[in-house]
Structure 1
Amino acid sequence: MKKLVFIVLIFIMFFFKNLASANYDKVFYDLQINSISGEIIDFSKYKDKAVLVVNTASYCGFTKQYEGLQKLWEKYESKGLIVLGIPSDSFNQEKKSNKEAKEFCEVNFDITFPLTTITDVKGENAHEIFKWAKDNYGKSAIPKWNFYKILINKEGKIEDTFSSLTKPTSQKIIQKIEKTLKIY
């Protein structure tokens, strides 16, 4: 009887393990997007790095989080973290042109981390990054608001997501980044 219970438990563990793990046909490093200046950002150049993807907006109550994102970039860039800002008007709070968004970020927050073109992050017109995230991580990867954060690990898979309320320099995010970068 004990042997049968043991076999059933092993079977159940393997069954649920497979259900819980995402089936990545592509990893993050297989994707690309246009930079805010118009050049292609090929994520394959970020291989073996962790990437914090953040949908941003100039007119949002969370816009001050740009300061925390810049601090993360300055502290962890040399250790293998890429902070990627994706300006979005999906919540109707972004400038109308890439040039205006870029200038806003540079003038008000001295942003030096990579920024993309203004991009949809939800719905039918969402960029491939966000469709990929939803397909592989579920609905929790869909931005609920501006400054939603998706942490990509060094294998190009989603490590975790963080709400807009979670500040970039919160212990929760820093601990997850350091664990992902293997900084102890």
Structure 2
Amino acid sequence: MSPLRFILACALGLGSLLLGGPARAADGEAACPALFQHEARKLHSKEDVDLCALTTGKVVLVVNTASQCGFTPQFKGLEALYKTYRDQGLVVLGFPSDAFRQELDDEGATAKVCYVNYGVTFPMMATSPVRGPDANPVFQALNRAAGEPEWNFNKYLVNRDGEVLRHFPSSAKPRGGELEAAVQAALR
């Protein structure tokens, strides 16, 4: 690729897609993967979150959540996974969605389920679509790379370079199984 074309691609945020991984900063540190070059509003807040600031150099588990689903109790396991591995570089990102008609209409009620009922401390974003052309930008990229979620609590494991390692179904338990083993391997 010509230097001019590379510079243009990087300016447009496409450098990591063209190179097959994140662009490298001048000091050799990993730059923010294209997948996370977005801002998202925090759940039940007016504050936006810089997803690059949350994820650069981290292993990320992205989960589409819902407050009124049979899998909602997985919040406990996701929180335990986050607390166990966050100091080793894991970030869990929750994206509530009503894609399967099991999310509350009120973000305040959704926040209560997450923060009060399940004690979630990992970052939760505002309710947004996760399927189809209206999916939020993170899920648009995840869907292209690994397929759309087929139900609530699908989990996408992303390595430190922004590569989607694996898409886990709703039934994958956060602790004590393949998902936790994959997280451990990605953190090594």
Q: TM-score range by the shorter chain?
A: 0.7 to 0.9
CA distance in 1, matches of 2:163, 2:34: 6
1:38 match? 46
Picking from 105, 120, 135, the partner of 1:126 is: 135
Partner of 1:142: 148
Cα separation, 2, equivalents of 1:63 and 1:98: 16
Task: Tell me, in whole angstroms, the C-alpha distance in 2 between the residues paired with 1:130 and 1:93.
Answer: 18
* CA deviation string 1:92-139 (max 9, x = no partner): 00111221111111221111111000010001211111111223x1xx
Q: Any conservation in 2 of the 1:130–1:141 contact (CA below 8 Å)?
A: no
State the AA in 1 paired with 2:40.
Answer: I
CA displacement at 1:29 relative to structure 2: 3.1
Per-residue Cα deviation, 1:29-77 (whole angstroms, up to 9, x for no partner): 3233211123222121121101100000011010110010010111011
TM-fit CA distance, 1:23: 5.2
Runs of 5+ unmatched residues, structure 2: 1-18, 23-32
1:87 to 93, 96, 99: 96
Partner Cα separation in structure 1 for residue 84 and residue 21 of structure 2? 30
- Structure 1 residues 155 and 24, CA, compared in 2 at 3 Å: closer, same or farther? closer
Structure 1 position 173, deviation (Å): 0.8
1:1-184 mapped onto 2 (5 Å cutoff): 27-36=34-43, 37-45=45-53, 46-135=55-144, 137=145, 140-182=146-188
Does the residue aligned with 2:40 lie in a helix, a strand or coil?
strand
Q: Which runs of 5+ in 1 are unaligned?
A: 1-21
TM-score by structure 1 length?
0.80
Q: Write the letter of the residue equivalent to 2:171.
A: L
CA spacing shift, 1:119–1:170, aligned 2, 3 Å: farther
Q: Contact 1:91–1:145 (CA<8 Å) still a contact in 2? A: yes
- In 2, are the aligned partners of 1:52 and 1:152 still within 8 Å (CA)? yes
The TM-score with structure 2 as length reference comes to: 0.79
Matched residues, percent identical? 35
Contact 1:150 1:162 (C-alpha < 8 Å) held by counterparts: yes
Length, aligned pairs only: 158
SS in 2 for 1:125: coil
Larger Rg: 1
Structure 2 Cα separation of the partners of residues 130 and 113 of structure 1: 18
**In the alignment, which residue of structure 2 is the partner of 1:6?**
none
Deviation at 1:28, TM superposition (A): 2.1
Is the CA contact (8 Å cut-off) linking 1:38 and 1:117 kept in structure 2? Answer: no
